[in-house]
Amino acid sequence: MFMEFRNEPYADFSKPEFRKAQEEALKRIAGKFDREYPLFIDGKDVKSGKLLKSINPSHKSQIVGTFHKAGQKEVDLAMESGLRAFEKWRLVAPKERAMVLLRAANIMRRRKYEINAWMITEVGKNWLEAEADTSEAIDFMEFYAREMVRWSEIKGVTPFPGEYPELAYLPLGIGAVIPPWNFPMAILTGMTTAAIVTGNCVLLKPSSDAPAIGYTLVEIMQEAGLPPGVLNFIPGSGSEMGDYLVGHPKTRFIAFTGSKEVGLHINELAAKAAPGQIWIKRVIAEMGGKDTMVIDSETDLDAAAAVVISSAFGYQGQKCSACSRLIVVDEVYEKMLTILAEKAKKLTVGPTEDPNHYMGPVVNASSENTILQYIEIGKKDGRLITGGAKAAGDGFFIQPTIFADIKPGTRLDQEEIFGPVLAVIKAKNFDEAIDLANATEFGLTGAVWTRNRFKIEEAKKKFFIGNLYINRKCTGAMVGAHPFGGFNMSGTDSKAGGMDYLGLFMQAKSVSEKVD
């Protein structure tokens, strides 16, 4: 059962059997768009009467589900449920908790095409991006299950004469898990199951742009045998109940992935002790980035350009790891721009239920408006190479857009856009390129393309980011192989999918007994 961890393989949609399975799953979930979803608290459905509608960003008039929203009353109910469940769940053996995750991983495999279909429909992922997201969610459960067993066997102490010392890792308590919409199954599953397998109970507040995907995880965990109250599903408005959840005196920790602004607000709110609070709340945060790829003259420009395109425009640039800054040394700058433009112009944009579309919509109207405003700024501050406008269709479609000659320190160089906009910056040489890459408040991911071994070693030592990739794309971190999390305003460097991650959800207790 606890064999060596292996990453989940992706379905090959060029093969008819996989393509057919995904097409059928899309048809099946379309028959569920009229469903009304309750909250899920203490193993029971709860209806608040306040409703949230989730829409398909590829077809703005299409509602994919209607969800009851939690308010402060429902947060209190969920907290009471979690506190009751915690007294029993924390005592369950780590291996038994790990078995729940392994069962859930198998259920998710069985439902993979359905989960993919929800992401294709609810948040506009193309087929491969959805497949990768679901596979990563499976990876998280498989990896954290094994990691929990490993952590439970750590001794952590050295012998001491006349005593028997022990070190035990205990769960923290009740946690608020607040995932993003851009990896709506993978990150949601990773944060939730890391908290659960370590013995904690969870109040899960999914993104309002992806509640159907979050509810699917609740169904899976139920089927896997998770006891009532361990996972409580409470979608709702951040302004109505988000601050209340974070500030609640019984909330022991907050696991958050999202924007810098919201992350800093959560961190500030969590730092204030509420009446009746007896602990310092722990915040585990990943807050995005302004991720950079550096292109040296000593490299294969065509190969580099191909991965720049996939890193910048995969999932419409809506990944915290997306390449939004490209720094190219002067010697190959114009040549690189030509190659990039040729490749970007070949990208197809449209509804993602059609697998022939590489790019789908951005997630909602607010995001679309923000991105288009940045594009107008780019037209003033730089040279438009390609794109620069909305794309045709009934959804929130934006053309893949590249701006050249962006100056260091300008808004396109510094601010996270979270859309299909790439800012290209010229550097005099490789040393300046690394300096420019570091000249941002973020520090999440990046990549360097060069064949020069000395430059590679320089980048390893000087490029100050949490995830650095050499001669490959800066997106696509794999669980286990690429523990993910960044520095500075990119978060708390909590390495999701790494061997130290579960420790963030536990606390250590030292016990020593005199034996002579």
The catalytic site residues sit at: 286, 320
Distances from the Cα of 342 to the Cα of 146, 156, 302, angstroms: 45, 56, 11
The two structure tokens encoding residue 207: 């993104």
Q: Locate all alpha helices (DSSP H) within 286-442, ordered by sequence.
A: 301-313, 333-344, 365-381, 411-414, 430-438
- Per-residue HEC secondary structure of 470-483 comes to ECCCCCCCCCCCCC
Strands 163-171 and 323-329: unpaired
- What's phi and psi for 78, nearest 5 deg? -65, -40
Name which of 193, 207, 202 is nearest 232 in CA terms: 202
Name which of 186, 415, 430 is nearest 298 in CA terms: 430
CA–CA distance, 211 with 207 (Å, rounded to integer): 6
CA–CA distance, 89 with 80 (Å, rounded to integer): 14
Tokens 């962006």, residue located:
406
CA–CA distance, 104 with 100 (Å, rounded to integer): 6
